[in-house]
Structure 1
Amino acid sequence: MYPSAGAMNAAAAAAAVAAARHPGPPQPGQPIKFTVGESCDRIKEEFNFLQAQYHNLKLECEKLASEKIEIQRHYVMYYEMSYGLNVEMHKQTEIAKRLNAIIAQILPFLSQEHQQQVASAVERAKQ
């Protein structure tokens, strides 16, 4: 749960870059000296930093977009499978109802011994 040495080094490096990019206020008695070249260099550094950050965020966004598409494909596939299983379950239920009706119609014509065998077979099938 504690930050690793690599994370602390990265944080220290980021702080050093920020301090170099934005030095503290000048000490009393020191005039602020900004030359055009220094200002351009600082702007260039800031631009390069922002451009690198933009590039990283763009890559991450593209990665997330591709993951989203993959997840949507999986969702559609599972939805289609679920729908197919539901349809198949209804078909099997209808078949079982019809077979049960046929057995109920034929059962009275069987001998007493066969009626008991069929009734026990139907009970086993229900379990």
Structure 2
Amino acid sequence: SLKLECDKLASEKSEMQRHYVMYYEMSYGLNIEMHKQAEIVKRLNGICAQVLPYLSQEHQQQVLGAIERAKQVTAPELNSIIRQQLQAHQLSQLQALALPLTPLPVGLQPPSLPAVSAGTGLLSLSALGSQAHLSKEDKNGHDGDAH
């Protein structure tokens, strides 16, 4: 009985260590991705600052307004983006399960599924975030016909 309890505790310990390593790796990957995204933002801001003086005064104001609106991401918008990303990920998993197990005819390639990692997930979230924000601007008519 004591031996069984000891084995059970040892397996729980190794399971906890596995989880710790997994969470550490995820945390490290997310930290790297956040630094990468911060660097991308810094570079894009630099590009905007270089290009902005070449625009007309009216367009400069529109671009500055659009940049400020892009910085105003709300919690509900983030939740919506995360929900969309999760649904897309679940759909791709379901499609992967539904792939035929029989060999494909010669010349046909299986459909490629996107690899989902912490990095690509965040990139997708940032892309979805900018798309959602831009589509919201279009609906609200902020930048409608001045282009």
TM range (shorter): 0.5 to 0.7
Structure 2: 5+ residue stretches without partners: 73-147
1:14-40 per-position Cα deviation (integer Å, ceiling 9, x unaligned): xxxxxxxxxxxxxxxxxxxxxxxxxxx
- What TM-score do the two structures reach when normalised by structure 1? 0.56
Question: Is the counterpart of residue 63 in structure 1 residue 8 in structure 2?
Answer: yes
Of structures 1 and 2, the one with the larger relative CO (CA 8 A, separation 6+) is 2
Aligned residue pair count: 72
Residue of 3, 7, 29 corresponding to 1:84: 29
Secondary structure in structure 1 of the residue aligned to 2:22: helix
Secondary structure in structure 1 of the residue aligned to 2:30: helix
The equivalent residue for 2:49 is: 104
Structure 1: 5+ residue stretches without partners: 1-55
Cα distance, 1:114 vs structure 2: 0.6
Q: Residue type matched to 1:115 in 2?
A: Q
Secondary structure in structure 1 of the residue aligned to 2:44: helix
- What TM-score do the two structures reach when normalised by structure 2? 0.48
CA distance in 1, matches of 2:70, 2:39: 15
CA distance in 2, matches of 1:105, 1:123: 17
CA distance in 2, matches of 1:89, 1:125: 18
Larger radius of gyration: 1
Q: Residue type matched to 2:70 in 1?
A: A
CA distance in 2, matches of 1:112, 1:90: 34
Q: Residue type matched to 1:84 in 2?
A: G
CA distance in 2, matches of 1:94, 1:126: 16
Higher helix proportion, which one? 1
